[in-house]
Chain A
Amino acid sequence: MSRHHNDFSDPYDQDAIEADLIDPDDAGLDDLEDPLAAPQHTSDRAPLTGNIGASTAQTQSYLNSAVGGEDRRAPQNTLDESVWATLSRDLLAVWEKMRQVLWPKYLLGGAMVPQDGGEGGVRGFGQGLMGVVGRWPDADVVLQGGMSEGLRDWDLWGPLLFCLLLSFLLSRGAQDEQKGVVFSGVFAIVWIGEAVVTFQIKLLGGNISFFQSVCIIGYTLFPLVIAALLSALSLPIIARIPVYIVLVAWSMAAGISILGGSGVVKNRVGIAVYPLLVFYVGLGCLCFIS
């Protein structure tokens, strides 16, 4: 039916569009294109057809993996598993988040180092230290990276434990009649601070959920817990200044590098991150004076 399209001596086939639109004057009924038949010719639509098929296949595999993957979504594994399997899986998830805080990719190796385990972070340490100064201002580069799989599934163990530890350690340094006030004060400051920073990021257009952000900020309190512990062990004031600056910077680096996937618009990153800095510095000062 459309055999004449493959015939290169036909003058109408010099131009594909013309051949599609205009039939030759002397064409019989059999030569004309049958609109119901499958298109055999190579027209403009050919690549588009291929694209549609490919994207459908991708969508299907995506859906399949989302329903029946090998992780915790696999339905038949979770109801009858042993208690130890449940505990170890959740402990591993917590450790994965802790690892992201302990080796912030913003400092150690930058955004280009793939997240392939602790070795990757350690390997990039040398380059990281050299590149810290040069890389410090361009948080935009880091913030364009996606959030890793382990951090997407939030939990509140980190925020809860670190918040309790921080409040407890700081209240130990207070006088006896003020212990309760200091404890509840720090407890409230941490949660309200996390909420405020999260709302700031949400208002600036980040597509991060409330609890994800609270989870990340809670886990990044770990260096400040070390600071509070040092205060409780009555580290001398002189030694506190450099150590606490480093610890606050560590928290800050972890916070920036993990919050990277939140999708904040590029030129607003500084505004989004600034309250986080105030939050960390405030808690660091509390540790300093206690």
Chain B
Amino acid sequence: MEGRIIVVTSGKGGVGKTTATASIGAALALEGKRVAVIDMDIGLRNLDVVLGLENRIVFNIVDVVNGKCKLRQAAIRDRRIENLFLIPASQSDNKDILTPAGVERVGRLLKKEFDYVLMDSPAGIERGFENSIASADEAVVICTPDVSSVRDADRVIGLLYARSITPKLVVNRIVPEMVAKGDMLSHEDVIDVLSVPLVGLVPMDQQVVISSNVGLPLVMQNDSTAGQAFRRIARRLNGESDLPIQVPSHKKGMWGMLTRKFGKK
């Protein structure tokens, strides 16, 4: 069976596309799928650092598209998670070095090789974005609960629909305490504007910063709330569409404080 190419995009920068790509990719691989995560942010590569594979880069996606190497030569195998592969971006080129047609051609090869291919799109809606969506079958739009991120996600959703790609939504970095106080948009507010199918809600988690810096996939850390959310997102993408979506909540009062105190060791 042919694999699926999923582009992870957002319009706005810094909302967690790369973290989401790494986490969902790793989680799908842990589910037993053969997964490639591809950094499409040519010139500003990050995905290799987040996955802790920066020291093993020889070839990159530009080399693959331009025929300088084979797909298998560029795909770096993750030694901790079986079946997870990274194709990094080039750090020395810019976005114009790739064309949508070239990416589409490589996309066909990727689909034969892998069950899931996750494309980490760069921010913006220019060439880099167009390259990323060129071969995509599906899209996951990452949005944080703030007005500018919602606005940009909305624009991107419009562009995806224009290519007849139906996006799925992940609301990232939810701070339940702020939502409860009315200082942050709730995920309902976000969905109210974007009205696309929701695939997961991810709470704000300090563990994300730590794991990105040490290059350890978030989903391998059992005490990370964001990691758990991404694992559930991966399961939903992998066909378990009836898996209920958990709304991040904060425990309040005496009982909550007690459980939090004793829960941490």
Q: Are A and B genuine complex partners?
A: no
Interface residues in chain A, defined as those with a beta carbon under 8 Å from any beta carbon in chain B: none
